[in-house]
Amino acid sequence: MAATTTLRQFRWWDIEKVRRIEEDLFPEDPWSAEMFWSELADVPHSRYYVVAEVETPDGDREIAGYAGLMSQAGAAATVEGWVQNIAVARDHQGKGLGAVLLEALLEEAARRNCAEVWLEVRTDNDPAQRLYTRYGFESAGIRRGYYQPGNHDALIMRKAMA
Ligand SMILES: CC(C)(COP(=O)(O)OP(=O)(O)OC[C@H]1O[C@@H](n2cnc3c(N)ncnc32)[C@H](O)[C@@H]1OP(=O)(O)O)[C@@H](O)C(=O)NCCC(=O)NCCS
């Protein structure tokens, strides 16, 4: 992680900035502010959310990415984690920030004793699939028409935690 990049907890006052990135990256089906509010309401019980901040040229900090994990705290014998979302603003992609965010989710999944972590990704999203494969996620099936309204298929991926 570059020295100027920091990870911190995603707070409610970040939602507006995160929504701008969300609208840009997922124009067909962005998460609404209400969806983010609802996710953050379950932190830390069944959710874990972080933002990545980078330093701007004028010395301020701006949100460059965000990611969230769902994991029900442990009644079941096998605890599952789900990557809820992971996104890096267009200007900051391709510099390893996605990897930093994914690592943070996987570290939290390990702390929560997840035996496996799952995610869905559009079948045509090569950069994201490359990232997930690099971290040990394997294909576990296809959900046809999962992403609406665009009717795109989802690839389900699974990673067994050591
Ligand atoms: C997927 C995403 C989170 C990866 O974040 P990132 O900071 O770019 O990730 P990294 O720099 O660690 O690169 C991950 C891989 O994607 C590739 N990549 C990143 N940006 C790319 C781009 N614009 N075009 C092509 N490949 C790209 C990298 O080369 C790397 O591949 P490698 O593992 O074979 O080296 C980011 O591209 C993103 O936010 N995309 C839009 C939102 C999205 O699709 N989220 C995932 C939903 S499941």
Total Cβ atoms within 10 A of residue 26? 15
Which residues, including other chains, have CB under 8 Å from residue 6's CB and lie 6 or more apart? 52, 53, 61
The rounded Å distance from CA 128 to ligand 1 centre is 5
Q: What secondary structure letter does DSSP report for 66?
A: E
Q: At what angle do helices 33-41 and 15-25 cross, to 10 degrees?
A: 130
pLDDT score recorded for residue 162? 78
Give the pair of three-digit tokens for residue 50.
């972080």
Q: Are 36 and 15 in contact (CB under 8 A)?
A: yes
pLDDT score recorded for residue 20? 98
HSE value, Cβ hemisphere, 13 Å, CA-based, for 160? 2
Of 23, 62, 132, 147, which is the active-site residue? 132
Q: Are 55 and 4 in contact (CB under 8 A)?
A: yes
pLDDT score recorded for residue 78? 72
Q: What secondary structure letter does DSSP report for 77?
A: S
State which of 69, 131, 134 you would mutate to test the pocket of ligand 1, scoring each by most atoms of that ligand within 8 A of its C-beta: 131
- Own/partner pairs, 17-24, CB within 8 angstroms, 24+ separation: 17/62, 17/63, 18/51, 18/63, 18/66, 21/63, 21/65, 21/66, 21/87, 21/89, 22/87, 24/89, 24/90
Is 28 known to be catalytic?
no
Domains of the chain: 6-160 (3.40.630.30)
Q: Is the CB of 18 under 6 A from ligand 1?
A: no
Is 16 known to be catalytic?
no
Q: What are phi and psi of 104, to 5 degrees?
A: -65, -40
The string of pLDDT tens digits covering residues 130-159 is 999 999 999 999 999 999 888 999 999 999
Q: Is the CB of 95 under 6 A from ligand 1?
A: yes
Nearest ligand 1 atom to the CA of 134 is 33
Per-residue pLDDT of the chain (162 residues; tens, 9 = 90+): 665 899 999 999 999 999 999 999 999 999 999 999 999 999 999 999 999 999 988 989 999 999 999 997 665 667 999 999 999 999 999 999 999 999 999 999 999 999 999 999 999 999 999 999 999 999 999 999 999 888 999 999 999 997
pLDDT score recorded for residue 77? 63
The rounded Å distance from CA 58 to ligand 1 centre is 26
What predicted TM-score, i.e. pTM, was given to this entire model? Answer: 0.93
